[in-house]
Structure formats: C-alpha cells, structure tokens
Amino acid sequence: MKYDSIPGLTLPKIGFGTWGIGGGTSADPGKDAVSLTALRTALEVGYTHFDTAETYAGGHSEELLGRAVRESGVQRDALFITSKVKPSHLKYEQVLSACESSLQRLGVDYIDLYLIHWPQAGAKYEDAFRALNKLVQDGKVKHLGVSNFNVKLLRQAQGLSETPIVTNQVPYSLSDRSYVKNGVLEYCQKYDIFLTAYSPVEEGNLRANKTLEMIAKAHHASIYQIALAWIISQPRVITIPMSANPQHIRENFEAADIELTQSETEQLNNA
C-alpha cells in the first residue's frame, strides 16, 4: 500500500468506502450478509481506512462496520475510521448528539476523522464548528474535515476550525474532474489538505476508452485499477472505492501497487 502525508497525519492512498453497506438511504437487513462479507474481506485484505456516515443506511452502515471490526480482532488503533454528520444536524447540540450516536453505533470511543457531509444553505457554520472543536477537545474526534465544499466554504471552514482541516471529500474520477475545474484540488495541494476522492470508478460505471484499455493491458490490470492508480499518483489525493465483490475489493487494494509511467499519466490526464 502507498501512503500520503500532510503535517500530523499519514493515510493509505486507498481506503474502503461504505456507501451501500447495510442499505441505501435506509437500513436493509437483507443486505447484512453481503455487507459483512465485504467488510470482513476488506479487513482481511489489509484496508485500514474505513469511511462511513450517519446517513449511510440510516446509521446501519456504522453498526455493521463496528461489528465487523470487533469480530475481526483487529486492534482499534490500527484502523482509521471516518464518519460524517449530515447537513440537517449542523446546530451545536445536533452535532454533539450526532457524533455520540455514531460512536455508539460504531462501538468505539473516538472517531479518527469527522466530516460535515454536505454544505447546507443558510447553515451557521460557526455553531457547527464550535461543536466540532469541542469534540476534538473532548477526545471524541481526532481530526476534522469537510465534504463537497467549494474553495470559498473550505476557506471558511479553515477559519472556524481550531485544528487543521485535513480533508475535503469530493467526487473525483477520470470522467469527473469538476473539483479540478473549480480549483479545489489545487487549493488542497497548496495548503496540505487531502482531497479524498469518492466514486473514483463511477460506482463501477467508468467508461472505457482506447487509452484506458491500452494502459490496462500493458499492466495486466483492469481499467478500474488503472483509474485508481491514476488518482493516487497525484499528491495529496487519496481515495475510498467501495465494492461488495470480494474479488473487486482485492483488486482495488492491489491498484496501489501499479506504477504508471509519466507518459501513461499524461495520456490519462488528457483522456
């Protein structure tokens, strides 16, 4: 596994996303067996960064992640767990309550990284960060970040946070470079903030092209592995692909071992 670092924090280039684990926007117990198999496989393969949120399966994703971790025997301090507070919970007491609920569902004493999941029109981020800062002070959260923030909001978050904003989690893939065009990637790289790419292979719907297929063939890899390798070849960029397929979970992890040439990277940059 490759790693990337900013001051005070080092993370694996590829983590495990949990959107779809345990259901969609609400819990679906019928998915528990498949979801637990996916989580157990990820832990066995060697993933250490797990990303979840209170909205994923209505909190059931957090419950299943916590269960899988406990049953795995992997030590808590060997893992890095990210969760998120939803935008309708950004008032002071709501943030504190949401975090407490996430801690209980996960069955842990602290969350490594806690994010504001989405911007909320009219939100008083001063209230939200007063609560987030308290969570860090109380040791319930180690690091703070945001998700889906543009540069203006990211800068505001930095001004309100008493500790460094360590990530902005945004959609980023070969076919979705909207957060390059709006300046977020450049800003993150300049100010030592991880850009955490979600939907890095378009939820398995990444469109193939001749360039991608040619490079994949040269590396005896799938187009999805090459897409991940391209993302993580960039400084300050990490990613959290999700799959419920054990083979794909392994392949995503192994994508970190692919070394693209400068020429291949440039071809993908222009693809």
Say which of 56, 114, 179, 198 is annotated catalytic. 56
Q: Residue 131: in which H helix or E strand, if any?
A: helix 125-137
Three-point CA angle 170, 172, 176, nearest 5°: 125
Residue 175, both tokens: 């076919």
Active site residue 56: yes
**Token pair 């470079």: residue:** 177
List Cα–Cα distances, 240 to 5, 77, 122, 201, in angstroms: 16, 19, 29, 10
Three-point CA angle 85, 91, 93, nearest 5°: 90
| Residues in Cβ contact with 17 at an 8 Å cutoff, skipping those fewer than 6 apart | 51, 198, 240, 241, 242
Residue 88, both tokens: 């309708």
| Residues in Cβ contact with 201 at an 8 Å cutoff, skipping those fewer than 6 apart | 173, 224, 227, 228, 241
Which residues are catalytically annotated?
56
